[in-house]
Amino acid sequence: MSYKSVTIKAGKGGFGGPLTLVPTDTRNKVVSVTGGGIHPVAAKIAEMTGCPAVDGFSTGVPDNEILVAIVDCGGTARCGVYPKKRIFTVNVLPVGQTGPLARFITEDIYVSAVDASCISFADESAVSKAGTPTNPTSAPKTKAQAKAEIAKMNEGKPKNLATRIGIAIGGVVNKFYAAGRETIDITIKTILPFMAFVSMILGIISASGLGDVIANTISPIASTLPGMLIVSFICAIPFISPVLGPGAVIAQVVGTLLGVQIGLGNIPPQYALPALFAIDAQVGCDFIPVGMSLGEAEPETIELGVPAILYSRVITGPIAVLIAYVFSIGLYS
């Protein structure tokens, strides 16, 4: 089949790129992992290249068949999963190098803030320079490969007790050091910006008088068990939960607002725990196919696992609210 190559550049406020996509007979799937079916950007790329567009939430695609992955990640792990596997990644949101996998988000593999105007047909010079990003030399090694290489290097080398103790202590120290470094990095690049964002939202709500409207709207719902069950059910509906999930922004903002209302006395404190589970029924639903792919699940497993987990949330969400309600009885008395 005849395919056409395209060049994708970053939009306003975006990062990375430009990326030149050169489809082949084996690598030709445009995978949309945005939670709302085929995203318009994915549809545009598929139309221009002549490649099929695939909904990553309903169909599993092997990594070696993915031409490009389209995500709508606000800065959590999802925007770095495909770059880590050296798969071209297009983020429709203006997100740069952030999240726990930020070190894998590089300009040669990732581009963000992309809309339809950022996509154009590639010229011959760009196509000739373009290469596949998934060559074995640049792809990160798996844990099994790394362990096998280390075992092969150490094969036949005797170690005395002192050497073994030194290697063990050094390994523990290095792990703690790396964990501390990554914790500080994630805190500075991810947690603190979001705290500033929530503070700004609360300031706007307080100054504009919107807080009174929210109190009058949310309080009657969040202060009764049936109301929280309804909220949990709505958040867990399979075609809604992946849309509400990215970055857990909706849950965190609503949770902060509920906390304010509980502090003001508009919502009884014993409803804090069940309310938390009610608004969190959708958390992680946008990451399910990506997480399975990261775990190297088979395409058939992803195809069946994603809807199974999404539909299970409709059942487990309200049940979690009921359990939280039972455990909160007498908690604040």
Strand partners for 88 = none
Compute φ and ψ for 123, nearest 5 degrees. -85, 170
How many degrees, rounded to 5, is the angle at CA 297 between CA 291 and CA 300? 115
Residues 198, 41, 101, 62, CA torsion sign: positive
Determine the Cα–Cα distance for residues 133 and 131; give it in Å rounded to an integer: 6
23 neighbors 3 (Cβ within 8 angstroms): yes
Q: Return the amino acid letter for 113.
A: A
Determine the Cα–Cα distance for residues 291 and 277; give it in Å rounded to an integer: 22
Active-site residues, by number, are: 73
Produce one character per residue of 239-270: b if its CB has 16 or more CB atoms within 10 Å, e if not.
ebbbbbbbbbbbbbbbbbbbebbbeeebbeeb
Q: Is 287 helix (H, G, I), strand (E, B) or coil?
A: coil
Residues 20, 24, 27, 30, CA torsion sign: positive
